[in-house]
Amino acid sequence: MRKKLLRKIVIGALLGALGLFFVYAYLPDPVPVDLAEVSRGPLEVQVRDEGYTRVHDVYVVSAPVTGYLLRINREVGDEVSAGKTLVAQMLPASPAFLDKRGRTQALAAIQSAEAALNLAHAERRDAEARLAFARADVRRIRAMAVKNYVSQSELERAELALDSAVAAVDTAKAAERARAGDVDSARALLIAPEPGSVSDPKDIVQVTAPVSGRVLRLQQESERVVLAGTPLVEIGNAAKLEVVVDLLSRDAVQVEPGAPVEFTSWGGDRPLSGSVRLIEPFGFTKFSALGIEEQRVNVIVDFTEPRERWSRLGHGYRVDAAIRIWRGEDILQIPTGALFRHRGDWAVFRVNGERVERVLVKVGRNNGLQAEILDGLENGQVLVLHPSERISDGVKVQQRQQ
């Protein structure tokens, strides 16, 4: 009897141990997870986008007249002084070639002008003949008037006729000179271009810098014929830089003048700081790299640091800008990686002992890295970061080993 009892005890113990082994073997292992705590501290919300630097006031020097532009000997970066530094020289443009119709019209104009000149010659000779007759007539009448053979009124009429004849000659000579000018003008239309001809130095138009600064860009460099108003050179003061950040319109409406800005990826070892000066009231359409149509607004930012910190920047340099639109000092917050959607609400997995429980939370501000928690959590509680599909309410977890 004792042996049978001992055998039963041994067999029962073996079966129990085997059962415990299978139970332990098939129990689910704790899921390794990354953990984070709910904390309090300062929280900033920023909008980020690319920007570029530009000189505050850019002056475009244009051609004052239509003519032949000589080669510009200035280089980008050269210093210029207002009203002193010569930036461009221009010569009068050579006449254009005439086509068959234009040449025929020019020849006809010459014939018409020459005919009018011949008529002016004839009118001048007629006026001179009348003047000679009037002078002779006055001499005769004056001689007879001395002997009282003619009346005083007749003498005065003769002298008046002489004065009229003198005026007629002057008029005829002026008309003759005008007709001669018309002939020269008509013949000038037939002047053909002369390659390599050198103009009088007095005819060269000197274009000087309107302001002091540096040459930012050469719009024209080689010799060529340009029209009046053609941009030649861009000049500006590189010491007065500003940054233009084109934000999406929905982000721009959140920005206020005076908001602090941080510039990164500009090439220096430390970020630069700035301040928003202006949000332009006019938006524009821009297509993204994916071809998406976006409505954007330019935000103008001034540097708030000494120029020595950003003196290596120039006109048209790229920077990354982060503009602060909100800041709180004592904010209950969690990493955004702990949040997920559950039936239209935000939720997190909170660690309770060795297991997790799903908790619905109310989220406030979010800067992409940290999110403000308005309700549902308390400071110091532990949450699961980036929960996978293996995590559900009540699952046993353990912290992942680094």
Confidence category of residue 106, pLDDT binned at 50, 70, 90: confident
End-to-end CA distance of the chain: 59
Domain match, 82 and 214 both: yes
Judge whether residue 67 has pLDDT over 70. Answer: yes
Judge whether residue 197 has pLDDT over 60. Answer: no
For the chain, the average pLDDT equals: 87
Domain match, 252 and 323 both: yes
Calculate the CA 369 to chain-centre distance: 33
Domain match, 152 and 122 both: yes
**pLDDT recorded at residue 145:** 79
Domain match, 104 and 87 both: no
Confidence category of residue 130, pLDDT binned at 50, 70, 90: confident
Residue 359 domain flag: yes
Enclosing domain of residue 154:
100-188
CATH number of the domain bearing residue 394: 2.40.420.20
Average pLDDT over residues 252-280: 94
Residue 194 domain flag: no
Q: How far is CA 252 from CA 112, 122, 292, in A?
A: 70, 81, 18
Percent of the chain with pLDDT over 70: 92
**pLDDT recorded at residue 330:** 92
Residue 298 domain flag: yes
Residue 195 domain flag: no
CATH number of the domain bearing residue 312: 2.40.30.170
Number of domains in the chain: 4
Most confident of 64-68, 216-220, 260-264: 260-264
Domain match, 280 and 148 both: no
Domain match, 254 and 284 both: yes
Judge whether residue 29 has pLDDT over 90. Answer: no
Q: What is the pLDDT of residues 152-177, one digit of tens each?
A: 888 788 888 888 888 988 998 898 89
Confidence category of residue 320, pLDDT binned at 50, 70, 90: very high
Judge whether residue 25 has pLDDT over 70. Answer: no
